[in-house]
Structure 1
Amino acid sequence: MNPRNSLFKLTTVLGVCVTFLIGISLQAEEKLNTPPEGFTALFNGKDLSGWEGLVGNPKTRAEMSAEDLAKAQKIADEDAHEHWKVKDGVIVFDGKGKNLCTIKDYGNFEMYVDWKIEPKGDSGIYLRGSPQIQIWDPTEEERNAVGSGGIFNNKIHPSSPTECADNPIGEWNTFYIKMVGDRVTVKLNDKLVVDNVVMENYWERDKPIYPKEAIELQNHGNTLYFRNIYVKELP
């Protein structure tokens, strides 16, 4: 066999493989932050449109005058934009500041969100302005070994996930969350970890969860990453 012909064939095969891999990569990037049918993207992949900084909690906000709330919101927004940034289609938190909240309030809904943490990471998803669907490093402490996805602040109803379904630290994880009334279902990486459990009102223990409030990305002073945040409102 002619060595030149062999080299040509090898080069051609390698070229096809590289082109194929680049095509797959580009397709993946195109799909990033693109909602599935019936869902709306809460994050556009470019900036923090639709999001605002955290002011207090549902109880304290309800007690504020419109003027005081507006002033506090302006300060909170400035702080949020200092510490929550968008990079390559990902929301990145630098470990400082407060939660990032949807401007719009949500009642009954389904949502998807991809998240990633670093070693010793600790975070969560607030539903209706209330803590929280837990995110943490399951190797960090004994209590964390149950894994992410539980309704951490429940006292009466179950608070832990049924199994640890976390991917290794540094890899992306996906939550599917459904909230109807005061009940929440959570899948972590396609595994059911919370099945129709009541979410309690952390801010006012003697009351049921608020009927409508913001969705929040919570922080505990760690670097965090979020992407592909989609929501579908339910009746």
Structure 2
Amino acid sequence: MRSLLTLAGLFVALGVWCSATAAEEKLNTPPEGFTALFNGVDLTGWKGLVGNPKSRAEMKPEDLAAAQAKADQKMRDHWKVENGIIVFDGKGDSLCTAKDYANFELYVDWKIEKAGDSGIYLRGSPQVQIWDTDHEPLWKLGANKGSGSLWNNQKNPNQAEVKADKPVGEWNTFFIRMVGEKVTIQLNGKNVVTDVTLENYWERDKPIYPTGQIELQNHGNTLYFRNIYIKELP
């Protein structure tokens, strides 16, 4: 009997190990029709943050190139890849895609720590909100209503329709669809934003830019990202 129990325990352990291995193999592997923005190994395809869309457009090419070189070094100092996960140490600036995007569908897995406050910029503009929804000091800003909102909107909705966050320290998944000015967002499979206009934070009198970089934004907290996939749309 003892031998049978030992053998059964080995099978259980083997099953757990196989499941974990299979899960790891799927990490940073895009679904059909999508392209991985993060290769799981290094920060190829990403760059450091220089200013904002308006200020970058006003810079001379040589000045922009010099500023980008400094920003890229700053990025390398504070954004690392560990075990297939992008980790930010809470210092420095946002991590930006090297390429600009217009219309797209985007998957992003993210995780924060206690009192975390972060976001994802679309076309270089803030932002799809991420934060610790159980942290009372952030409640006055709307954290208790959930992550995923277009928080910097002034004229259009800027709070999540439902709270769909998992507890701090667990992985969450965004699905973001942006077409024209309109954004729809799912958090962990639940709609939190439905066809809402994303406003232009940098130039309030203008509509959102037709193209721009995607940014993983920070507010001085440790952050984690993985499984970042994009599909460009017509």
Please report the TM-score for the alignment, with normalisation by the length of structure 1. Answer: 0.97
Pick from 60, 65, 77: which aligns with 2:60? 65
Q: Distance in 2 between matches of 1:186 and 1:77?
A: 29
Q: Distance in 2 between matches of 1:87 and 1:100?
A: 16
SS class of match (2:64): helix
Which aligned segments of 4 or more residues in structure 1 are displaced greater than 3 angstroms? none
Q: Distance in 2 between matches of 1:199 and 1:176?
A: 16
Q: Distance in 1 between matches of 2:111 and 2:21?
A: 21
Query: What is the identity, as a one-letter code, of the residue corresponding to 2:207?
Result: P
Q: How does 1:94-109 map to 2 (within 5 A)?
A: 94-109=89-104
Query: What is the identity, as a one-letter code, of the residue corresponding to 1:196?
Result: D
1:26 is matched with 21
Identity of counterpart residues, as a percentage?
63
SS class of match (1:160): coil
Q: Distance in 2 between matches of 1:122 and 1:90?
A: 19
Q: Please list every run of 5 or more consecutive structure 1 residues that lacks an aligned counterpart in the other structure.
A: 1-5
Q: How does 1:73-112 map to 2 (within 5 A)?
A: 73-112=68-107
Q: How does 1:107-126 map to 2 (within 5 A)?
A: 107-126=102-121
Query: What is the identity, as a one-letter code, of the residue corresponding to 1:32?
Result: L
Q: Distance in 2 between matches of 1:101 and 1:44?
A: 15
1:138 is matched with 133
Q: Distance in 1 between matches of 2:199 and 2:5?
A: 63
SS class of match (1:210): coil
TM-fit CA distance, 1:170: 0.5
Is 1:166 equivalent to 2:165 in the alignment?
Answer: yes
1:36 is matched with 31
SS class of match (1:145): helix
Query: What is the identity, as a one-letter code, of the residue corresponding to 2:216?
Result: L
TM-fit CA distance, 1:15: 1.0
Is 1:129 equivalent to 2:136 in the alignment?
Answer: no
Please report the TM-score for the alignment, with normalisation by the length of structure 2. Answer: 0.97
Q: Distance in 2 between matches of 1:223 and 1:157?
A: 30
Q: How does 1:186-225 map to 2 (within 5 A)?
A: 186-225=185-224
SS class of match (1:202): coil
The Cα offsets for residues 113-152 of structure 1, whole Å up to 9 and x where unpaired, read as 0000000000000000000000001122222111100000
TM-fit CA distance, 1:208: 0.5
TM-fit CA distance, 1:163: 1.0
2:176 is matched with 177
TM-fit CA distance, 1:166: 0.5
